[in-house]
Structure 1
Amino acid sequence: MKEKLMPVFVLAAAVGLFTTCKEETEDPNLKMGYEYFPLEQGRVWVYAVDTIVYDPAVGGTAVDSVRVYFRDEVLDSIAAEDGEVQYRVDRQIGNSDTGPWAPHNVYYLSRNDRNAYLTEDNLRFNKLIFPLQPGKKWNGTGAFEEFKEVEIAGERLEMFKGWESRTAPVIPSLVLGNLAFENVQPVQVADYEAIIERRYGLEYYAPNAGLIYRELWILDSQCQVCCNGDLGACDGLPWRDKAEKGFIFRQQLIIN
């Protein structure tokens, strides 16, 4: 009995069909999301910044709040040895959104095919991963020690304890003050809580705007002021009521 052979052109067509289906499944035109982390010289962002600081004091906890404004401008770029281009951002601080402005600090932004980074005070944060999609998780602080201590109002805290970044579902439209944004990507950078520690972080990114909102809760308590050290009574209390050191920080874009 003769074996029937598939004609070459039929085999080629079948292979081509399989390849086409595979390519369609992999979606070669998948949007990467680079527009959520724009990098260009001359770009300026102005943010309103509200901070509440909790500081141990004799007989209780001192709570101070302040509003300032940040003016961040991309001044120039530097090519590193590995070819990565870092954009230097000059941050100025003022008491109104129109200044006068005073120098505050400098940080760096960079991006490659798969990651977006912010480097500040010699700490490198992995802010986004590409393609940018909801439901992804990554270690945004993997470049340094998780239990690194940071000084806040003279007190030392393990600020980055329990941090883990993850993308949430896209917000179709969002209004912040006088600015409206579409297809906003939330990134939760931390959500760790114990009876005596709270680490929470949330960031919003918008296309062609970058970071539009940031919120951090870095709080510690020994439950002495609120509850005389009774951890049972302390558990479940709002952090605004039991915090003894640390801060709550909110940064919102007002001029883009």
Structure 2
Amino acid sequence: MKEKLMPVFVLAAAVGLFTTCKEETEDPNLKMGYEYFPLEQGRVWVYAVDTIVYDPAVGGTAVDSVRVYFRDEVLDSIAAEDGEVQYRVDRQIGNSDAGPWAPHNVYYLSRNDRNAYLTEDNLRFNKLIFPLQPGKKWNGTGAFEEFKEVEIAGERLEMFKGWESRTAPVIPSLVLDNLAFENVQPVQVADYEAIIERRYGLEYYAPNAGLIYRELWILDSQCQVCCNGDLGACDGLPWRDKAEKGFIFRQQLIIN
């Protein structure tokens, strides 16, 4: 499966022996990028979601795949004590893009002048920073412990180990199935790899659409199934071949 104001900065300028104040505005050509994280009640996104789960099993690794659909709708907003407005998003799940839909979970979206946030399962993620430009880096998971364990198919993983967000060059045009987008901003949320761990995350944001694509690889291996514990033989093998627990997740916007 979540506004376009140009801020004005007032600067003090010294002139000769006297001090005066004047107003200066930011370069009007510098867009903040708020349209990449639209927030409004009633907005609906429908996503196709594909997941591959790796689960330790007797004699090997069980690999299961499933496709479901998310329907995310912004229901209402809540003002926090600090003045930040959080938008409550109701996520429903179904086996087709037309439903029927069943309740799945609730998450929250919020944004201020400099940051865009997603809060889910009591974890707050800094998804974007403004002005939104290629080449920026930030800690998107700084609000919680990097080595926090998450349970996947009964197995515990340090899902957020090595995460660091960065913006990549803008993609001028992108087509996802039947939807076409312009000026798509990629955000790499993770790219960490060791012989026995892989953490990779990529998200695409589009103007006035928000999140249009998300991909996560959260995989661990002890190299037992593929290589009898031989790390040398394990090193360099594709993760699809050596993963023993974790998941690969893809979420793609299909109705906006």
| Shared fold (TM-score, shorter chain, > 0.5) | yes
Does structure 1 conserve the Cα–Cα contact (< 8 Å) formed by 2:2 and 2:37?
no
1:58–1:182 distance in 2 versus 1, CA, 3 Å: same
Partner in structure 2 of residue 213 of structure 1: 213
* 2: CA distance, partners of 1:165 / 1:7: 25
Does structure 1 conserve the Cα–Cα contact (< 8 Å) formed by 2:225 and 2:242?
yes
* 2: CA distance, partners of 1:121 / 1:90: 13
* 2: CA distance, partners of 1:7 / 1:201: 31
1:225–1:134 distance in 2 versus 1, CA, 3 Å: same
- After superposition, what is the alpha-carbon deviation per residue over 1:62-88, rounded to whole angstroms, capped at 9, x for unaligned? 000000000000000000000000000
1:2–1:84 distance in 2 versus 1, CA, 3 Å: closer
Instruction: Report deviation, 1:228.
Output: 0.1
* 2: CA distance, partners of 1:107 / 1:9: 33
- After superposition, what is the alpha-carbon deviation per residue over 1:194-214, rounded to whole angstroms, capped at 9, x for unaligned? 000000000000000000000
Instruction: Report deviation, 1:27.
Output: 2.2
Instruction: Report deviation, 1:37.
Output: 0.0
1:42–1:236 distance in 2 versus 1, CA, 3 Å: same
- After superposition, what is the alpha-carbon deviation per residue over 1:219-241, rounded to whole angstroms, capped at 9, x for unaligned? 00000000000000000000000
Instruction: Pick the structure with more strand per residue.
Output: 2
Instruction: Report deviation, 1:12.
Output: 16
Correspondence list, 1:67-216, <5 A: 67-216=67-216
Instruction: Report deviation, 1:20.
Output: 16
* 2: CA distance, partners of 1:5 / 1:180: 26
Instruction: Pick the structure with more helix per residue.
Output: 1
Does structure 1 conserve the Cα–Cα contact (< 8 Å) formed by 2:13 and 2:21?
no
Instruction: Report deviation, 1:148.
Output: 0.0
Does structure 1 conserve the Cα–Cα contact (< 8 Å) formed by 2:94 and 2:100?
yes
Q: Larger Rg: 1 or 2?
A: 1
1:241–1:20 distance in 2 versus 1, CA, 3 Å: farther
SS in 1 for 2:30: coil
1:103–1:22 distance in 2 versus 1, CA, 3 Å: same
Instruction: Report deviation, 1:133.
Output: 0.1
1:5–1:37 distance in 2 versus 1, CA, 3 Å: closer
- After superposition, what is the alpha-carbon deviation per residue over 1:39-59, rounded to whole angstroms, capped at 9, x for unaligned? 000000000000000000000
SS in 1 for 2:40: coil
* 1: CA distance, partners of 2:119 / 2:200: 20
Instruction: Report deviation, 1:107.
Output: 0.1
Structure 1 ranges of 4+ moved more than 2 A: 1-29
Does structure 1 conserve the Cα–Cα contact (< 8 Å) formed by 2:116 and 2:126?
yes
Between 117-126 and 23-32, the greater mean CA deviation after superposition? 23-32
1:227–1:131 distance in 2 versus 1, CA, 3 Å: same
* 1: CA distance, partners of 2:89 / 2:9: 59
Q: TM-score, normalised by structure 1?
A: 0.91
Q: CA RMSD in A?
A: 9.8
* 1: CA distance, partners of 2:147 / 2:117: 20
The number of residues matched between the two structures is: 256
* 2: CA distance, partners of 1:189 / 1:253: 18
Instruction: Report deviation, 1:161.
Output: 0.0
Q: TM-score, normalised by structure 2?
A: 0.91
1:19–1:200 distance in 2 versus 1, CA, 3 Å: farther
Partner in structure 1 of residue 26 of structure 2: 26
Instruction: Report deviation, 1:30.
Output: 1.6
1:183–1:18 distance in 2 versus 1, CA, 3 Å: farther
